[in-house]
Amino acid sequence: MILFELKNLVKHFGGLAAVQNVSFQVEKGEIFGLIGPNGSGKTTIFNCISNYFPVTSGSIHFNGQDITGLKTNKICKAGIGRTFQVVKPLGRLSVLDNVIAAAFSKAKNKKEAHDIAMETLEFCGLMHRKDIIAKSLPIGERKRLEITRSMATRPELLLLDETAAGLTPTEVDVAIDLIKKIRDSGVTIIIVEHIMKVIMTISDRIHAINFGQTIAHGTPKEVSNHKAVIEAYLGEEYAHS
């Protein structure tokens, strides 16, 4: 079953075409990798999906409905959670309060919000930090807080933007486990990641872009052997050799 679909997405910033005609479909229950070199438009695609800014043209479909132009908070309410590449903790609130605030999106009352928050903190392995002020968390845990918070909104689809960047190798392994655990709990995931180890081991399918255009899509193996992808990442010389 197709849960999510991007149709001919175009986004221009003035004269800059950041995303040019990108289309893809995401199956329910899969981990869908979105890769591309720096500045290729990955975050912009996420921002278009959550309507952080309006799309230039194209449409976005979720659960069979056209959600293009829906307000950001409505996108979340519809069931699409997201994390930010540049983390956005609610700095002066405790970790628990960060998560409670998010949990209210599905909870009927404060008690329910609190319960959802505690459950999500446990699930994401941040329980031991619940009373800490969010801005005093180290970067690895801030990234985890991003995930925890978006999970507390009980999404069907989760957009993860470089949640493993800047982590130590051990932390990366923990992050991979968490992402798999989230998928196993029934949440579909679109993940943007530069660390090849992460993206190649956990993605079911991968979509590669460069300069805002699709250059390849398929299984991790197909994409990593694709000439255009190697060119984009390593330069033309490597592709020819």
Partner 1 sequence: MKKFIPLIILIVLCLFPVVIQNAYYQHLMILVFIWVAIGSGWNVIAGFTGQVSFGDAAFFGTGAYTAGLLAHHFHISAWWGMAFGGFAAMAVAFPFGWICFRLRGPYFALASLALNEVCRHIATIAEPLTQGMVGILIMPTFLSKIPYYYIALALAVLSVVFVQFVMKSKWGYYFLSIREDQDAAESMGIDTHKYKMVSLNIAAFLTGMAGALFMNYMGFIDPEVVFSLHDISIMAILVGIIGGVGTIYGPAVGALVMVAVHEFFRTGFFGLFKGLAAMTGSDAMISVAKTISHAHVLGFGILVVLVILYLPNGIVGDWDKLVGKIIPFKKKEAAS
Ligand X SMILES: Nc1ncnc2c1ncn2[C@@H]1O[C@H](COP(=O)(O)OP(=O)(O)OP(=O)(O)O)[C@@H](O)[C@H]1O
By the criterion CB under 8 A, which residues form the site for partner 1? 50, 52, 71-73, 76-77, 81-82, 84, 88-93, 97, 100-102, 104-106, 109-110, 113, 149-150, 152-153
Could you say which residues in the range 85-124 bind Mg ion, by CB under 5 A?
85
Shortest distance in whole angstroms from residue 226 CB to ligand X: 18
Distance set, CA 33 to CA 101, 143, 192, 234 (Å): 29, 18, 6, 19
Shortest Å, Cβ 185 to ligand X? 27
238 is a contact residue toward ligand X (CB under 6 A): no
C-beta of 118: minimal distance to partner 1 in Å? 15
SS3 of residue 39 by DSSP:
coil
| 196 scored as a contact of ligand X (CB under 6 A) | no
Please list the alpha-helical segments (H only) found in the chain: 42-49, 72-78, 95-103, 110-124, 139-152, 169-184, 196-202, 220-224, 227-234, 236-240
CA–CA dist 140, 137 (Å, integer): 8
Told to check if 166 binds Mg ion by CB under 5 A, we report no
Question: Would you give the distance in Å from CA 156 to the centre of its chain?
Answer: 12
Q: Which stretch binds Mg ion (CB under 5 A): 41-49, 64-72, 135-143, 221-229?
A: 41-49
Quick note: the x/- pattern for ligand X over 58-97, rule CB under 6 A, is ---------------------------x------------
**Which of partner 1, Mg ion, ligand X, none interacts with 90 (beta carbon under 5 to 8 A by kind)?**
partner 1
CA atoms of 92 and 134, how far apart (whole Å):
6
The partner residues of 59 in beta bridges, in order of sequence, read 7
- Tell me the closest approach of the beta carbon of residue 44 to ligand X, in angstroms: 3
What is the C-alpha separation between 220 and 201, in angstroms, rounded?
Answer: 8
Q: Which residue is nearest to Mg ion (CB)?
A: 43
Q: How far is CA 139 from the centre of its chain?
A: 17
Residues that bind ligand X (CB under 6 A): 13, 16, 18, 36, 38-44, 85
